[in-house]
A and B are shown apart, each in its own frame.
Chain A
Amino acid sequence: MRRPRLRPDTHSYIHLSTIMNSTAPGPRPAQVFLGLFVVWQLTFMVMANYLQLVFPENLVTEDEAADLLAKLPPPGPIEKLTRTAAGCLQSEAGRYAQVTGQGQSWWLFAAYPRQSTFPLIELRWSDPAAFPPVRLHGRFEPENPNAYFHAPGPGDRLFHYEANLTLIHNPWDTERFNSWSWDPEEERKHAETQAETHGRHREQFTPDRPWYQRCQLAHVGDGWSLFCSPWEEERFRTDRERYQRSYLNRAREKWRPALAYMEWQLEQYRQLHPELPMPAEVILYNRVYPTPARGTSPWQWPAPHDHPVFRWHPGETTPAEVFPVEVYDPAAGGFVRVNRSKDSS
């Protein structure tokens, strides 16, 4: 568009028709607002995804973030500032995503499960001779792992609930857990054994890799969890107390849906067997089927392992400061009461 020229030979003025012809109608407020919204949406998508990739410590619990950062070189003042700013931005972007339904959690099977996990409920009565324990299997645990069909349909949502439940604690290798030792030589031997069992990729089991490189972030329900199995022993070894605290904190975050699931399963069972008294204990196990190694022939699943996770005593009144369910603590080797407050556990 040509700019109107001033006429120096007379008074400096611009002819009215020039202005009218040269001035295009400006955008309406609605157009400007919509344009800014489009720009914001583009910025949000890129920013939210980039930040959670580059600063994953803002997505995990405080303990796990501290562990993660402890493995990195100490940050300089600028990096510290950057991380703080990124944390703030991430928090705000997360809130915007929550309010508008634009959660940016795009990692289908990025943290692929190496085992199949199912919830398993065990009902125990105070008189086991009269009422032997009853086990209620998860709805999707196949009776025959070699032949089954999960039809598409109503069960898919329930499957997600059960899957989220069993991801509360990523299962660990019980044998390994029981045989933990602090001898590096034995560590190496175990890695070799694991590598032989699971295939040719020894580096996956080598404890030389920093633990945070072997951990994977996974989205569980409404939050994030850092799964490091089967190498959590390194954390256990370096700081047993912190590991225990971190483990119990995860339990603290997830005990409610676990209790709801135990209550729901118990209610279903009692509707079918109204003649039975209320059981004294309900235990939630994590049933784990290790996936056979690649190329295994004939293909066959090993027997599952059952890891206790929570125990509930129906009808029992618990003090207000502790959870109504007990948590299985692998470090203590049994069920423990957990305080509602993080500081007191």
Chain B
Amino acid sequence: MSERKVVGIRPWLPWPLSRIPWWTEPVRAERLAALRIGVGLATLVDVLGHYLPYASAFFGDSSLGASAVFDAQGMDQVWRWSVLRGIHDPTTVKMVLLVWAAVAAGLAAGVGSRLCAFAAWVLGMSFFNLNPFLVNSGDNVRNFLCFYLMLSPCGAAWSVDHWWARQRGAVLEPVFVQPWALRLVFVQMTVLYFMTGVWKLRGGWHSGESPMHYVFGNLGWTRVSYAQLPLPVWAVDATTWITLIWELGFPVLVFMTWTRTLTLWMGVLFHLGTGCLLQLGPFPLYMLCLYLPLVPWEQYISHQNEKAAAPMLAAAAAFAPAGPEDVKN
């Protein structure tokens, strides 16, 4: 019998959640770490690749997002908060963007992981509300992912924090985390796809008009002309129906074992495809982050390392008192 270290607070869940192992059984910390690294890298690419080159055009005086543009539109300033309101100098904006990039890199590397997640959330929200014409749903995804990361022990594995703790002999391997944050992310992902399907249904996607025809034929949203990639009518119709059925069926398809892998791979391919074909900004990047915790990373961790560490871990486990958050295998 071996000890396993579970990091983080175990939530007191009411029935029926308390009876469902999916909500209560700790999971390997690498799953949460993968999400943290993905969000950090996606944010880094977004800040350096999308925001910084146009910083002075997007924010500050005489820009598209000057304070007079979005501040006084009847927006509720209390709820649509931004710590950057009142910054007018473009150079200062660029400096803050560089800080955001550093925070994102810190999040990916796991240096002060939760603090970085908090800073990434604050800055992400602040820029989001500073110029809402620049954003799309991908930014919503980034914001809620940072929100969950800052509330959960996201630096428990694959992080500088974890490495440092291990140097001090303060952690046991393997590390587990309480699953609530990852479960909430997964539920949000399921709601996201399902509701997109429902809204598409309401928008007339089932009418036979083939909305994907209008998406592929849009000169602004597409990266290449439809004339350069002429798809047969049946293929365009097929993408319409596959998208609609996949989104509406996501909650069921992903819960059934025999359809789960295919469903998730379809999602990955869908986002890679839309990222290549459509001008969706960082949306595909952030959406792909949602898939990272679903990869069984623990299976890919080197068995050699675990074997090498086993005698030492067993010895450490024998002397380590079981804390209130420790769960026995």
Question: Which of A's residues lie within 8 Å of B, judged by CB?
Answer: 27-28, 30-32, 34-35, 37-39, 41-42, 45-46, 49, 53, 95, 98-114, 116-118, 140-142, 144-165, 199, 201, 203-204, 216-217, 221-222, 253, 256-257, 259-261, 263-264, 267, 289, 291-292, 294-295, 299-301
Cβ-closest chain B residue relative to A39 = B14
> Are A222 and B132 in contact (CB-based, < 8 A)?
yes
9 of the cross-chain contacts (CB-CB < 8 Å) are: A101-B143, A101-B146, A103-B143, A140-B220, A145-B219, A146-B225, A151-B223, A152-B275, A156-B281
6 closest Cβ pairs, A-B complex: A101-B143, A110-B199, A154-B53, A27-B12, A107-B199, A116-B219
- Within 8 Å of chain A (Cβ to Cβ): is B86? no
> Are A204 and B207 in contact (CB-based, < 8 A)?
yes
- Within 8 Å of chain A (Cβ to Cβ): is B27? no
> Are A160 and B136 in contact (CB-based, < 8 A)?
yes
> Are A147 and B121 in contact (CB-based, < 8 A)?
no
Cβ-closest chain B residue relative to A219 = B137
Please report the C-alpha to C-alpha distance between residue A253 and residue B70 in the assembled complex, in whole angstroms. Answer: 10
Please report the C-alpha to C-alpha distance between residue A165 and residue B69 in the assembled complex, in whole angstroms. Answer: 13
CB distance from B319 to the nearest CB of A (A): 24
Please report the C-alpha to C-alpha distance between residue A109 and residue B280 in the assembled complex, in whole angstroms. Answer: 11
CB distance from A48 to the nearest CB of B (A): 9
Please report the C-alpha to C-alpha distance between residue A256 and residue B70 in the assembled complex, in whole angstroms. Answer: 7
Residues of chain B within 8 A of A107, CB atoms compared: 195-196, 199-200, 203
> Are A291 and B73 in contact (CB-based, < 8 A)?
no
- Within 8 Å of chain A (Cβ to Cβ): is B94? no
Q: Looking at B64, B214, B224, which has the most chain A CB atoms within 10 Å of its CB?
A: B64
Q: In which size bucket is the chain B interface?
A: 35 or more
Residues of chain B within 8 A of A160, CB atoms compared: 133-136, 281
Additional 6 contacts, C-beta under 8 A, given A107-B199, A142-B225: A101-B124, A142-B219, A147-B225, A154-B49, A158-B57, A160-B134
Q: A106-B137, A141-B219 are in contact. Are A35 and B11 (CB under 8 A)?
A: yes
- Within 8 Å of chain A (Cβ to Cβ): is B218? yes
Q: A98-B79, A109-B215, A221-B132 are in contact. Are A152 and B223 (CB under 8 A)?
A: yes
> Are A31 and B11 in contact (CB-based, < 8 A)?
yes
> Are B213 and A291 in contact (CB-based, < 8 A)?
yes
Please report the C-alpha to C-alpha distance between residue A141 and residue B219 in the assembled complex, in whole angstroms. Answer: 7
Cβ-closest chain B residue relative to A99 = B79
Which of A39, A111, A112, A117 is within 8 Å of B13, CB to CB?
Answer: A39
> Are A204 and B225 in contact (CB-based, < 8 A)?
no
Please report the C-alpha to C-alpha distance between residue A227 and residue B131 in the assembled complex, in whole angstroms. Answer: 23
> Are A149 and B203 in contact (CB-based, < 8 A)?
no
Cβ-closest chain B residue relative to A255 = B73
Please report the C-alpha to C-alpha distance between residue A92 and residue B54 in the assembled complex, in whole angstroms. Answer: 35
Cβ-closest chain B residue relative to A214 = B204
Please report the C-alpha to C-alpha distance between residue A248 and residue B219 in the assembled complex, in whole angstroms. Answer: 28
Which of A95, A110, A260 is within 8 Å of B203, CB to CB?
Answer: A110
Cβ-closest chain B residue relative to A268 = B57
Residues of chain B within 8 A of A113, CB atoms compared: 214, 218, 221
Q: A32-B12, A157-B281, A261-B64 are in contact. Are A116 and B211 (CB under 8 A)?
A: no
> Are B236 and A294 in contact (CB-based, < 8 A)?
yes
Q: Looking at B132, B198, B217, B275, which has the most chain A CB atoms within 10 Å of its CB?
A: B217
> Are B133 and A164 in contact (CB-based, < 8 A)?
yes
Residues of chain B within 8 A of A118, CB atoms compared: 219-220
Which of A41, A110, A112, A153 is within 8 Å of B202, CB to CB?
Answer: A110
Contacts of B124-143 to chain A: CB distance below 8 A: 124-125, 128, 131-137, 140, 143
Please report the C-alpha to C-alpha distance between residue A106 and residue B73 in the assembled complex, in whole angstroms. Answer: 24
Cβ-closest chain A residue relative to B193 = A106
Q: A45-B187, A222-B75, A301-B219 are in contact. Are A53 and B143 (CB under 8 A)?
A: no
Please report the C-alpha to C-alpha distance between residue A161 and residue B64 in the assembled complex, in whole angstroms. Answer: 8
Residues of chain B within 8 A of A259, CB atoms compared: 69
Q: A99-B81, A257-B69 are in contact. Are A34 and B136 (CB under 8 A)?
A: no
- Within 8 Å of chain A (Cβ to Cβ): is B230? yes
Which of B191, B195, B219, B223 is within 8 Å of A149, CB to CB?
Answer: B223
Cβ-closest chain A residue relative to B46 = A157
Residues of chain A within 8 A of B282, CB atoms compared: 156
> Are B223 and A106 in contact (CB-based, < 8 A)?
no
Residues of chain B within 8 A of A201, CB atoms compared: 207-209
> Are B209 and A199 in contact (CB-based, < 8 A)?
yes
Contacts of B25-64 to chain A: CB distance below 8 A: 49-54, 57-58, 62-64
Residues of chain A within 8 A of B297, CB atoms compared: none
Cβ-closest chain A residue relative to B152 = A34
Residues of chain B within 8 A of A49, CB atoms compared: 191, 195
CB distance from A268 to the nearest CB of B (A): 9
Which of B121, B193, B195 is within 8 Å of A101, CB to CB?
Answer: B121
Cβ-closest chain B residue relative to A109 = B215
Residues of chain B within 8 A of A154, CB atoms compared: 49-50, 52-54
> Are B217 and A110 in contact (CB-based, < 8 A)?
no
Please report the C-alpha to C-alpha distance between residue A102 and residue B224 in the assembled complex, in whole angstroms. Answer: 32
Q: A101-B146, A105-B140 are in contact. Are A161 and B134 (CB under 8 A)?
A: yes
- Within 8 Å of chain A (Cβ to Cβ): is B304? no
Residues of chain A within 8 A of B70, CB atoms compared: 222, 256-257
Contacts of B156-208 to chain A: CB distance below 8 A: 180, 184, 187-188, 191-193, 195-196, 198-200, 202-205, 207-208
